[in-house]
Structure 1
Amino acid sequence: MVLFVAKDISEVTHAEWKQWKFLNSSQNCYRSPLLEPEFAKLIASNNDHVRVIFGQVGEKIVSVFCGSGRVAGMVRPLGAPFDDYSGPLIAEGYQISMNDMLRAGGWHSYRGEGCATPEGVLMDAKFESRGYSFVAQIEDGSAAEYLAERWKDNPKRMKNFRRLSRKLDKDFDTVELRYGVNNPSDIQQLFNWKSNQFSKSGLVDVIEAEKSSTVLQAVSSVKYNEENNFGGYLIELRVNGALVAGHFGLRSGENFHPWISAYDPDHSELGPGIILLYRAIEAMDEMGLKSYDLSGGHDHYKKYFAKPSREVGKLVYFRPTILGTIQGVGFKSWNLFGTKNENSIASRMRRRFDHLAICETRLMPRLKGFFEAFLKRHNTQNS
């Protein structure tokens, strides 16, 4: 029988930390910096609501779930909205109960989009949907051999990407791929470009929103280097010394998970984003990387550089408690307005409200963000 124990991150013992790390590396679906105890510790340093739930059989830890509790016992994945992967992590050969796990944390409901848990190991919960994330993963061989495989699958596209890259070398005196420097002003420049992009497109600005910006700042404050094997990592494309594109995110050892991908709009005609990604994957050996995680989503370019190699699921669970039932009824009531259709207006509204609730704690910025986004999206579609 699996017994669940809830703890603050500061209470995790060395032995528990070690077993957590083992679970993190035991299956490919869990090998992400976002599921490591170091990430939980980093987020907990700026969030008093983070708790970890260990599922134990005797002294052995067979499951780990770390989340951030919300009002009325609602819990979200750690680091949301930058939660491309979430738990629970479950050891092979075991099954757990979501109800028992959430009860140990004092939570009544859970909602997450990127659950990395395989199907069939949650006894009392089912995924609403399943999808894949795109990971450039070098199992054996070199980065050059990996790119050669991508060439075989997408010869026309890869030839075009190489042409853009060579044209950049021809048109400018110096073209440099820089990595690991983490200059704060360069990181801020990426954030500014991305924030402007969000504003123009009508999407929620995760750079400026209160909760999401706290996550970004926490990761920015811890630099990955030889002494610190976990932290923020920046890869830059520079032309004649000027920053034109970059990827910023979390790196742990050989694994890099960029969150913010942005480029200088004044140089968009150069294709800087594509060139950056092409050259970054080309330089994975040089950077000591085996995994370059592009996560999920509908960005068309991802399929040319990475295979849909990691399965994730949308998990929504409401405990059979008074609060859990009320929250479940409220969530499912959206179905009356047509949210079963992912492309319906009601479905898009629910996702927008949900995203704002994750990113922003204050009511007025939430309402302002919703109506501004609605108007901009409406104007964009009618222009």
Structure 2
Amino acid sequence: MKITVLRPGELGEAELTRWRELQQTDPELGNPFLAPEFTLGVARLRPRVRVAVVEDGDKVVAFFPFERGRAGIGHPVGFGLTDLQALIAPPELCLDARRLLKACGLGVWDFDHLLAHQPTFAPYHTVRRLEPVMDLSEGFEAFAEQVRRAAPKTHRTIRYKERKLGREVGEVRYVFDCREEAELTRLMAWKSDQYNRTGRTDRFARPWIVALLRHFHRTGFGVLSVLYAGDQPVSAHFGLRCGQVMAGWFPAYDPRFAKYSPGMIGHLHLARSCAAAGITEIAMGRGGKEFKEGFTSRQIPIAEGRIARPLSRHCGGVALHWARTAPLNKARDIVLRDRRMYQRADRVLKAYARLRSATVRRK
């Protein structure tokens, strides 16, 4: 097989068409994070993004999008932002993973949300998990009935709080595809506040991430949805759409309305609006949010791990990278698997955030 590494902007219309054809060979490849639009969008802001084009004879059989870091350390495109990663290829295709890395000039490739059923990287999985999906293929009412059966208390609570929000704040309405950039700015401000309030790293402190969301919003690849009570926006969600699949990405809400659970109300409205727009599933991504359990229709097996080429010129950088990341990844996996540990860790992060905020005010 022949492997050619290109900048995403060097892909022609024939290659992009073939990429989309290969997405149709595996239902899980329909996720927006695996669409060429995502790789092309990130590449506008991250100059180290590349795509390996794998050919068998005169036919392209796979695309491998990646980011090349320092010392030959490779990551999936938009690492840290993506909830699904994969080789864009038919599900049965098995490549020589180390040969692929060599052709890409990588000494190591890290992944944390990789489709687990693909055989190329299967020997290098260290952890497997499940990502939840909301199945809307039978329509919203069928999905809502599933939620009522799976989590009746959650469903009743959402409906009660929505009625309460309408009575006390204003009539509830939902805009599925909001084109106002000011509302996107508001969502990012809410999300930054949430990150800081809960002790997480503020992703929107990075200008390239802000620019990426604005680009996807302007091009229509990103869908901004806003829940209003009267004239006041109370929650919002920014996701990515590829055909019939929506990838949940950045939900946020105004903390002044927290007692109404506006995020959960918004998710139910998102499901209704997606079904009406012809979207058959919403990939919710990995995370410890308990409400996802009631909304989950099925789950996608994903994997975390890394592959390293032995005796490569990058071996020093590979060893250092492993020493820095392996213990942290292991600890994170233990916490994510245990709900009580996750809740304790969440409380610790929030306490740290309060302490940090108090220290900043004193200064």
**TM-score scaled to structure 2, two decimals?**
0.86
SS of 1:326's equivalent in the other structure is helix
How big is the shift at 1:214?
4.0
- The Cα shift of 1:43 comes to 1.6
| Whole-Å separation in 1 of the counterparts to 2:49 and 2:325 | 31
1:33 Cα deviation (Å)?
0.8
Contact 2:128 2:302 in 1 (8 A): yes
Aligned ranges for residues 108-187 of structure 1 at < 5 Å? Answer: 108-122=107-121, 125-139=123-137, 141-187=138-184
Cα RMSD (Å): 2.6
Which residue of structure 2 lines up, in the alignment, with residue 215 of structure 1? Answer: 212
Residues 60-88 of structure 1: CA deviation (Å, up to 9, x unaligned): 22221101211122221112221111122
Question: 1:329-362, CA deviations, whole angstroms, 9 ceiling, x for partnerless residues?
Answer: 22443599797544789xxxxxxxxxxxxxxxxx
Cα pair distance change 1:156/1:378, threshold 3 Å? closer
Corresponding position of 2:201: 204
Instruction: Write the mapping of 1:218-367 to structure 2, written as runs, cut at 5 A.
Output: 218-222=215-219, 224=220, 231-333=221-323, 340-342=330-332
Q: Which structure 1 residue ranges, 4+ long, deviate > 6 Å from structure 2? A: 335-339
TM-superposed deviation, 1:254:
2.4
Distance verdict in 2 for CA 1:111–1:212, change over 3 Å = farther
Determine the structure 2 residue equivalent to 1:77: 76
Determine if contact 2:238/2:248 at 8 Å carries over to the other structure. yes
Secondary structure at 2:201 match in 1: coil
- In the alignment, which residue of structure 1 is the partner of 2:360? none
Partner AA of 1:135 in structure 2: V
Runs of 5+ unmatched residues, structure 2: 336-348, 357-363
Partner AA of 2:271 in structure 1? I
Tell me the TM-score normalized by structure 1. Answer: 0.82
**Gap regions ≥5 residues in structure 1:** 225-230, 346-372
Task: Give the 3 Å change call, closer, same or farther, for CA 339–374 of structure 1 in structure 2.
Answer: farther
| Deviation for aligned residue 1:126 | 1.5
User: By how many angstroms is 1:89 displaced?
Assistant: 2.4
Matched-pair contact (CA < 8 Å) for 1:143–1:285: yes
Q: 1:274 to 1:318 in 2, by over 3 A?
A: same
Task: Please give the alpha-carbon distance, in whole angstroms, between the structure 1 residues aligned to 2:121 and 2:326.
Answer: 28
Change (3 A) 1:81 1:333: closer
Number of residue pairs the alignment of both structures matches: 343
- Give the SS at the match of 1:195: helix
Residues 247, 261 of structure 1: 8 Å contact kept:
yes
What secondary structure is seen at the aligned counterpart in 1 of 2:191?
helix
Q: CA deviation at 1:165?
A: 2.1
Matches within 5 A, 1:83-98: 83-98=82-97
Change (3 A) 1:177 1:375: closer
Any conservation in 1 of the 2:110–2:306 contact (CA below 8 Å)?
Answer: yes
Following superposition, the deviation at residue 5 of structure 1 comes to: 1.6
State the alpha-carbon separation in 2 of the partners of residues 127 and 337 from structure 1: 16
Q: Any conservation in 2 of the 1:108–1:321 contact (CA below 8 Å)?
A: no
d(CA) in 2 for partners of 1:285 and 1:300?
A: 23
Q: What residue in structure 1 maps to residue 8 of structure 2?
A: 9
Range 328-337 or range 48-57, more displaced: 328-337
Amino acid at match of 2:131: S
Give 3-state SS (helix, strand or coil) of 2:24's partner: helix
Q: Give the 3-state SS of the residue equivalent to 1:89 in structure 2.
A: coil
Identity across aligned pairs (percent)?
A: 20
In the TM superposition, what is the alpha-carbon distance from 1:378 to its structure 2 partner?
Answer: 9.2
* Residues 115 and 301, structure 2, Cα contact 8 Å, conserved in 1: yes
Deviation, 1:269, is 1.0
Query: 1:211, CA displacement in angstroms?
Result: 4.3
